[in-house]
Amino acid sequence: MELAFFGIFGLLKIGKKGSKIYRIFYKQTYMQFEGVLRKMKTEMGSPIQYYLLFNNDFLNVNQVLNKELHIAFLKYQCLNCGLERPIFRQGFCRNCFYEIPSAGDWIMHPELSTAHLGKEDRDLDYEKKVQLQPHIVYLANSSNVKVGVTRKSQVPTRWIDQGAHEAIEIVEVPNRYLAGITEVALKEHVADKTNWRKMLTNKVDDEDLVAWRNQLRQYIPEEAASYFIESNKETEMEFPVLRYPEKVKSLNLEKTPEYRGKLMGIKGQYFLFEDNTVFNIRGSEGYYVSLNII
């Protein structure tokens, strides 16, 4: 109320419609955002903090829980070339997806990494920078226990993005290839996929990840066996959720370019709404939207 009053007062006193000051007050009063969607930035905490970043602006999404959001899809904007082209995968247009070094096959399949052999996929300098750094093979529990790979610098971000409520490291290896072959070996004995519907409805069990880790140790390939982390414990994640949906229906901006609903939680990279709609922010990268908090 105070903020609304201040906004209107500010408008009358200082702002001319269309001026920068007008826009600032308008934004403070009605909270309007516009820009291309990128996966939310996160900060570990109780609960985890989520930030939606736009060009000159950001929103701490936790602060708008229990509020009505209006989302409208305005156009495509490829995260690499910036052009208005249909998004193909990972926020990129088709051309960029097949050309840029950050979308090579080794991203999704770490075992295909070749920088440690000095062998180029798309851009050796880039691949050396990303692949030749410490990587973690971990177990995360978001709906079931699964194995995964991430750069060490992405712990615990990766776990938060997956909506895992608990996770633990298994090995820390010096490059992406070793992490990849370890994951390939371990997924013979443990899942490597998450059931996102279970994750979002919070139908999850607590598991003893230390026991899982010790059990899986015997299957780590010889090249990576010496990198086993001897002493380790689970990391727990607490997501900002007021109420979980009972079942989920996914919002697809191409089919439903406009949506309005009350935000009840954030888990993984999803918005959870009161009417059981879930919106995957990461899955909507490259979509240029307006976002109004009502």
Q: With CB under 5 A as the contact rule, which of the stretches 57-65, 89-97, 134-142, 186-194 interacts with Zn ion?
A: 89-97
CB atoms within 10 A of CB 61: 22
What does the buried/exposed string (b/e) look like for 221-259 if buried means 16 or more CB atoms within 10 Å of the residue's CB? Answer: eeebeebbeeeeebbebebbbeebbeebeebebeeeeeb
Nearer to Zn ion, 78 or 155 (CB): 78
Q: For the chain, what percentages of helix, strand and coil (3-state, to nearest 5) are there?
A: 35, 30, 40
Joined tokens for residue 179: 């992490």
Minimum CB distance to Zn ion, residue 134 (Å): 31
Contact between 114 and Zn ion by CB under 5 A: the answer reads no
Check if the beta carbon of residue 53 is closer than 8 Å to that of residue 38.
yes
Check if the beta carbon of residue 41 is closer than 8 Å to that of residue 53.
yes
Q: With CB under 5 A as the contact rule, which of the stretches 14-22, 51-59, 87-95, 212-220 interacts with Zn ion?
A: 87-95
Joined tokens for residue 79: 């995260």
Q: Which x/- pattern over 138-167 shows residues binding Zn ion (rule: CB under 5 A)?
A: ------------------------------
Q: What is the DSSP letter of 247?
A: S
Which of 81, 100, 107, 204 touches Zn ion by CB under 5 A? Answer: 81
Q: Which x/- pattern over 187-206 shows residues binding Zn ion (rule: CB under 5 A)?
A: --------------------
Minimum CB distance to Zn ion, residue 80 (Å): 5
Nearer to Zn ion, 86 or 257 (CB): 86
Instruction: Tell me the number of residues near Zn ion by CB under 5 A.
Output: 5
Contacting Zn ion within 93-112 (CB under 5 A): 93, 96
Contacting Zn ion within 239-278 (CB under 5 A): none
Contact between 78 and Zn ion by CB under 5 A: the answer reads yes
Residue linked to tokens 């490291």:
169
Nearer to Zn ion, 94 or 217 (CB): 94
Check if the beta carbon of residue 228 is closer than 8 Å to that of residue 258.
no
Check if the beta carbon of residue 273 is closer than 8 Å to that of residue 70.
no
Q: With CB under 5 A as the contact rule, which of the stretches 34-42, 71-79, 136-144, 146-154 interacts with Zn ion?
A: 71-79
Contact between 79 and Zn ion by CB under 5 A: the answer reads no
What is d(CA 89, CA 263) in angstroms, rounded to the nearest whole number?
Answer: 26
Nearer to Zn ion, 96 or 139 (CB): 96
Q: Which of 153, 156, 173 has the alpha carbon at shortest distance from 164?
A: 156
Which of 29, 62, 80, 114 touches Zn ion by CB under 5 A? Answer: 80
Binding residues for Zn ion, rule: CB under 5 A, are 78, 80-81, 93, 96
